[in-house]
Structure 1
Amino acid sequence: MNSLDSSLDLDPRRLGKLGFGGAGIGNLYRSIPDGEALATVLAAWDAGIRYFDTAPHYGLGLSEQRLGAVLRDKPRDEFVVSTKVGRLLEANPGGGQDPEGFDVPATTRRVWDFSEKGIRRSIEDSLERLGLGHVDIAYLHDPDVHDLQAGISEALPVLERLRSEGVVKAIGVGINSAEAALECVDAADLDLLMLAGRYTLLEQPGVPLLDRCVERSTGVVSVGAYNSGLLARPDVSEDAHYNYQQAPPDVLARARRLATICRDFGVELPTAALQFPLRHPAVVNVTAGATSPEQVSMNAARMEETVPEELWEALERVGR
């Protein structure tokens, strides 16, 4: 495992406003050809995106492999890459298809492991799949799903040691629960928190958490800004998803109300959704997934659009 200069702390400003999320190129929900996946990563690079996030969980390592196939040919000091620890990939003689939503053959299976040995091995395995000498950021992945207390007492101290050893520049937690995230932020010296879906245009239960992150100097990377696709189109369709399931009628109605307000100000709903998280001072980056070059280009264009302050004020009144 290569060591970095431990004095080289990661400046969150290096992430840029928009990051690239790698779940889609791991064949989340549907298979995409290798060529399309690589073209998508290249489109992100060409759009000026320099922060790339992935995980062993995404496509049983496929996301890391595809991301590395592009990034290993780029100047290493010009981009930031993060991956996650907590799940090891072990051989799976039974085969079949992946049971966790990725359209890939299950030649390996995920095994939870928050131990020091498991975390160090996870990073080594990720580096091999990526074909890189180091990753910049290591997140503990989904401790709220597996064992939050083991994550806090066992895994986070390991990440702190890896940072002090110079193995990674920054550490954090990737999580869905705002309540569990707050426990992690208070328990460890985290550089970053990757928060999924809990501070979006649609809902903001993560506000107290984000306020605490400001106090703790923990930067927040916002993911899930489109709320599983609900806010991803200018018009909210009847079959739109929310929290990876069919959106209930009351949620559809609220999203449509937001879309109408945006339209009144000449702004499309996805543009407001993508930019909204950056209005909180804790949020340093919004990372969005994509499965085609066109989606990357659209995200990049939306992030650069001008949104009138009057729209934010109108949306805030609706939120209240």
Structure 2
Amino acid sequence: MNQPLQHITVLLDEAVDALLGGAGAQPSGQWVDATFGRGGHSRLILQRLGPQGRLQAFDKDPDAIAEAARITDARFSIRHEGFCHLDELPEGSVQGVLMDLGVSSPQIDNPDRGFSFRFDGPLDMRMDTTRGQSVAEWLAEAEMQQIAEVIRDYGEERFAGPIAKAIVARREAQGPLRTTAELAELVAGAVKTREAGQNPATRTFQALRIFINAELQELEQALEASLRVLAPGGRLVVISFHSLEDRIVKQFIAKHSKEVYDRRMPFAPPQPMRLKALGRIKPGEAEVASNPRSRSAVMRVAERTETPA
């Protein structure tokens, strides 16, 4: 019998400590795990919440929803939606929002999901397999320039042009790509040099996954929504796993951690800052040694400062 795919939650204690740090022992109120995954953060949050606390989770992945069904705690609920729907919660109603970005280990390690070049499987990569277009479907019809732009912009891949050209040439000669192995082999032939220890397909797979799931756009929407739904003193905790995500989070916190002056009205009082940056944390040596996938993680923490307008 196949063993269930395991997931080790990154920065588990650090993230929950940061999220609940503004609250007292056994806090009450509404809290949000915006990316349930396999529930590591959610389960620890529930252990720490008081009887009047409530935890609302979000996730697009049907497998994550199935895992969440195993939690019988009446204080917990989950929505089968992306975290951009955070904006639907009442204004100023949330004491803390946690976002653990990226892909979980069970998603990566399941060949049927198509996230990894290490296993041969259908070229899917959708977080939500119940809706939307798979990577294979998109590559079967996208223009060469579109493919190149996606791989360059979301994968920071300098060989994006040759890879896109190879994908289209293969499509015209043999039909569309259907599996992860086919794509990985094609990319390996188009990428002339690569960093030591990195598979040539790494950046392309990252780019296509981010694009097909609109991950960066959804992150931007969810960050903006957090400003509206967080109560004063509420915490925002975001764990990123690559530079594109972390750059968005860093710039968002920096933008809202300063007073804003209207140059058209030089004598008007400035708009007060809306967030207070509380720091940046990376996994320690022990965590990286026990879970190498944590090595790229960066956690940023901020606190809501003023009452939502």
For the criterion TM > 0.5, the same-fold answer is: no
Which structure: larger Rg?
A: 2
- State TM-score, norm by structure 1: 0.28
- State TM-score, norm by structure 2: 0.29
